[in-house]
Amino acid sequence: MIRETLKGGKGEVIKNPKVFIDPISVFTEIPYREDIIKETAISIRYFVKNDVRFSNLFLGLTGTGKTFVVRYILNEIEEVKKEDEDYRNVIQAYVNCREVGGTPQAVLSVLAEKLTNDIVPKHGINLGEYIEKIKNAVEGKKAIVYLDEVDTLVKRRDGDIVLYQLLRADAEISVIMISNDINVRDYMEPRVLSSLGPSVIFKPYDAEQLKEILSKYAEYGLFRGTYNDEILAYIAAISAKEHGDARKAVNLLFRAAQLASGEGIIRKEHVDRAIVEYEQERLVEAIKSLPFHYKLALRASLDSEDVVTAHKIYVDLCNKLKQRPLSYRRFSDIISELDMFGIIKIKILNKGRAGGIRKYIEVPDREKIMKALDENLAEEIGYEY
């Protein structure tokens, strides 16, 4: 059995897994985003050839192609460097603000490291010194900086300073920012907004567009005859209901193809199994990506019926871990955000003048969340609940 699987062949569905894992290396165009790519390319050309700096803010929900477009542009610029001398002094740096920690120090240190190709301390130096390192690295060159999930940075203390310094730096730096939060501008100070260029909106894909995108992945990544239009339409329809998430659609197709390995064709039951697995994995990933105090707030919520009790448990947990607890007001805001993320549910009950308003907490997947959270906290800080 294992030998047949290792060798592949009979009943195999996936022709080229790289199509799903690293699509940028395969695709030479991105459907339904051509206009955005062209407009951005014009801005880049003016910057490189005419010294006209620019900044863009890519806005759109998850799976609408923002990061894909940025990665595609970054790669294309590297290719153009080989053909056009004007581009040879262009340096680029992509940073996912959430993945590096989201703090101004974390983002600037990684950015400086990528632009200087040198090790940069993550602590012990102030923000101004990071900016100076970046300016020195850019001297005589032109830099294009890509800040993904920039809302993570902007919502942190002094996050605005990073953007302001980059946008107003006395250096040839242009910036493309990416955010899933379409209201991210509300968190920016007027001085940052005045320096910021236009917002570029990535509209959600509809079912027909998703089906065409899936057909491209299937054409390049799957063997002919292992899928049909009905399967692609089924996946597209499911993903279109969730704000047109192309990433989800592609992941579902890939997982369904893996489940169909050895059977030679993807069926509806493979897709349905992939959906269940995807939702479970997404919940775990969402928990892992939460900031530290959000994790503590969530852990406290698992042992509470209401927000007041959860805050008391949270304070006790912070004291055990020698962390400064957040105020009740800030804690309540975090609980509301966890509700917005769909991880927990808040029900508000008004008991009148005597009882006041009480916020009750419901956790639909309590056991699953508890397991994922406890494992993550043990891994992150060595704490076992």
User: Residues forming the annotated binding site for ATP?
Assistant: 64-68, 205
Known binding-site residues equal 64-68, 205
- Among 309, 255, 294, 308, CA closest to 373: 294
* Rounded distance between C-alpha atoms, residue 274 and residue 15, angstroms: 19
Question: Which DSSP symbol is given to 126?
Answer: -
* Rounded distance between C-alpha atoms, residue 115 and residue 107, angstroms: 12
Q: Which helix (H) or strand (E) holds 143?
A: strand 142-148
Count of CA atoms in the C-beta half-sphere (13 A) of 11: 11
Beta-bridged to residue 222, according to DSSP, are 14
Question: How many residues in the chain?
Answer: 385
Q: Residue 162: CB partners within 8 Å, gap ≥ 6?
A: 104, 107, 108, 127, 153
* Rounded distance between C-alpha atoms, residue 352 and residue 228, angstroms: 59
* Rounded distance between C-alpha atoms, residue 261 and residue 277, angstroms: 16
Q: Which token pair is 85?
A: 């001398």
* Rounded distance between C-alpha atoms, residue 294 and residue 282, angstroms: 17
- Secondary structure (3-state) at 106: helix
Contact indicator for 298, 287 with CB cutoff of 8 Å: yes
Contact indicator for 176, 71 with CB cutoff of 8 Å: no
Q: Which token pair is 228?
A: 């049909």
Supply angle C-alpha 216, 65, 258, rounded to 5: 50
Sign of CA dihedral 360, 363, 367, 368: negative
DSSP string, 152-163: HHHTSTTHHHHH
